[in-house]
Amino acid sequence: MKRNVVTTTPFDDQKPGTSGLRKKVAVFQAANYLENFVQAVFDTIFDTAAAPPGSTLVLGGDGRYFNREAIQVILRMAAANGFGKVLVGQGGILSTPAASCVIRKYGCYGGIILSASHNPGGPEGDFGIKYNTGNGGPAPEKITAAIYARSRVLASYRIVEAPAVALDSIGSQSLGEMCVEVIDPVADYAELMESLFDFDVIRNLIGSGFRLCFDAMHAVTGPYAREILERRLGAAPGTVINGVPLPDFGQGHPDPNLTYAHQLVAIMYGADAASTPDFGAASDGDGDRNMILGRGFFVTPSDSLAVIAANAALVPGYASGLAGIARSMPTSAAADRVAEKLGVPCYETPTGWKFFGNLMDAGKVTLCGEESFGTGSSHVREKDGLWAVLFWLNILAKRRLSVEQIVSRHWAEFGRNIYSRHDYEALPADVAAGVMAQVRGRFAELPGCRLGDYRVKFCDDFSYVDPIDGSLSTGQGLRVGFEDGSRIVFRISGTGTEGATLRIYLEAIEPDPARHQVDAQQALAGLIEIAQDLAQLKQRTGREQPTVIT
């Protein structure tokens, strides 16, 4: 087999963010663009990280447009770069949590995941590539920095000349001296789920007439949900909707929230309660996010983490107790109250899953969550959508209450952290920076001041020292905390692709059960007004309303 060394010139925009390199499909299709980045990853693996030749790599993606083509290129480059073996998901498919599971289970050197998460796909949409290390989690910053540095100087890449690898049949084939093993993308993940959750008790719940609906949004979780929910747990065929992964996600936006999962929302808020399922859930493009719904009832991701933690003893994989809980700073403090009751530590980290990895590797936390529809545990090193769905089903099967009853009783016990996020998308960068500067400018005078019904306790620019490696992350969001525990947080998104996205996170503490059923936006009206005023939002953005409210 012929090994080629192809001359190339560097691109200057291949800096991987926390979720890898994400660009428009057309950018990835440009000559040498994908190849350059993959060579930078491989050089980092073998040169910087000194991986032994013959190492094993995991490879798969969320099935979006360009997935198959990219997989063929990466396989031929892996063969030319000295990998011994690549485990690739059948059809090129692996959800992000499943890839993490496979890397860990087989002790692989690392993995490459092809996805742009919840961003739309198709020829006009986005594509992405991310490198995960041997712990199954996203590469830490020192590795992504090395990849980027390498991408700026490389002059050639290595690739073998070979016919396309057959991706659709399970089994081993050779590609030069490398072995390509096409694996069932679902089996290892499903087995891990069976080891964590009580499938018998969930099967009994479903057998008793409990009805559920899972919206795979034409993204990667379709095959996983069908195998686990319909085949192993006995849910009726058709429980999984939009279950066939499509290269353009059926022209949808595969992000599980009340706006984009509108088909599921319409089903769960149906006029006829008798025909509305008891439980609804959705997951995103690559299967790591989740949304949980009851009949006519939305569970905020912050509450979901708290409920999961409070009920963990009911779930076999977690019955022996939690080491600790971690949540991102803007996520509501509902989980903190549960941690306090359980007598375990609760960590407050900057936004982004990577901060949880160190804590999990060190055995300090078992459960993690973010307000942005991300929940997970130390079973893998990524957030995990279907895992959260199964956790809820296990709780529902044990407690035999409705989703709404479980959440209401949780609030009655712990108090309710009423929560909402207001996003101002696609702002000019200087306008967003101006808003932040405006808020920061008020910090000195605010502590002790009365604003509306609230008295300011503290304000700061959140920074975090990683308790494991001592690294410092600064500028992670502006916090205004009030005496009763209520909060307003201002933060600029790190993942927006158009202009700057300003996120305002609002949280009000409501201890009184008589007021727990209120509408969140109404209950937060006072804080919304304070945020408007503090940041001079209307004047500075020229907008009357946020773009998206979750």
Active site residues: 117
How far apart CA 206 and CA 42 sit, in angstroms, is 46
Q: Backbone dihedral region of 296: left (phi > 0), alpha (psi from -120 to 50 degrees) or beta?
A: left
CB 204 within 8 A of CB 397: yes
Verify binding: residue 370, ligand G1P, rule CB under 6 A.
yes
Site for ligand G1P (CB under 6 A): which residue of 14, 36, 132, 372?
Answer: 372
Beta-carbon contacts of residue 4 (< 8 Å; ≥ 6 apart):
80, 158, 159, 160, 161
Residue 347 has φ and ψ, to the nearest 5°, of: -100, 140
How far apart CA 96 and CA 108 sit, in angstroms, is 15
Verify binding: residue 288, Zn ion, rule CB under 5 A.
yes
The interface mask with ligand G1P, positions 500-529, x = CB under 6 A, is ---x--------------------------
Query: What is the chain's Cα-based Rg?
Result: 23
Beta-carbon contacts of residue 444 (< 8 Å; ≥ 6 apart):
none
Shortest separation between residue 15's beta carbon and Zn ion, angstroms: 20
Provide the 8-state DSSP code for 550.
-
The interface mask with ligand G1P, positions 396-415, x = CB under 6 A, is --------------------
Shortest separation between residue 370's beta carbon and Zn ion, angstroms: 11
Verify binding: residue 286, Zn ion, rule CB under 5 A.
yes
32: tokens are 């040498």
- Indicate the residue type of 146: A
Q: CA-CA distances (angstroms) from residue 373 to 93, 301, 390, 425, 517?
A: 22, 5, 15, 18, 22
Verify binding: residue 493, ligand G1P, rule CB under 6 A.
yes
- Please identify, using beta-carbon distances, which residue of 89 and 415 lies nearer to Zn ion: 89
The interface mask with ligand G1P, positions 296-335, x = CB under 6 A, is --------------------------------x-------
Shortest separation between residue 11's beta carbon and ligand G1P, angstroms: 23
Verify binding: residue 19, ligand G1P, rule CB under 6 A.
yes
CA-based torsion, 484, 485, 486, 487: positive or negative:
positive
Verify binding: residue 477, ligand G1P, rule CB under 6 A.
no
Where is 335: in which H helix or E strand? helix 334-342
User: Could you say which of Zn ion, ligand G1P, none residue 19 binds, taking C-beta under 5 to 8 angstroms by partner kind?
Assistant: ligand G1P
| Burial of residue 196, with CB atoms counted within 10 A of its CB: 0-12 exposed, 13-18 middle, 19 or more buried | middle
Site for Zn ion (CB under 5 A): which residue of 284, 370, 371, 423?
Answer: 284
264: tokens are 């599921």
The interface mask with ligand G1P, positions 333-362, x = CB under 6 A, is ------------------xxx---------
Shortest separation between residue 97's beta carbon and ligand G1P, angstroms: 13
Shortest separation between residue 310's beta carbon and ligand G1P, angstroms: 22
- Please identify, using beta-carbon distances, which residue of 327 and 337 lies nearer to ligand G1P: 327
The site for Zn ion (CB under 5 A) is made up of: 117, 284, 286, 288
The site for ligand G1P (CB under 6 A) is made up of: 19, 117, 328, 351-353, 370, 372, 374, 493-496, 503
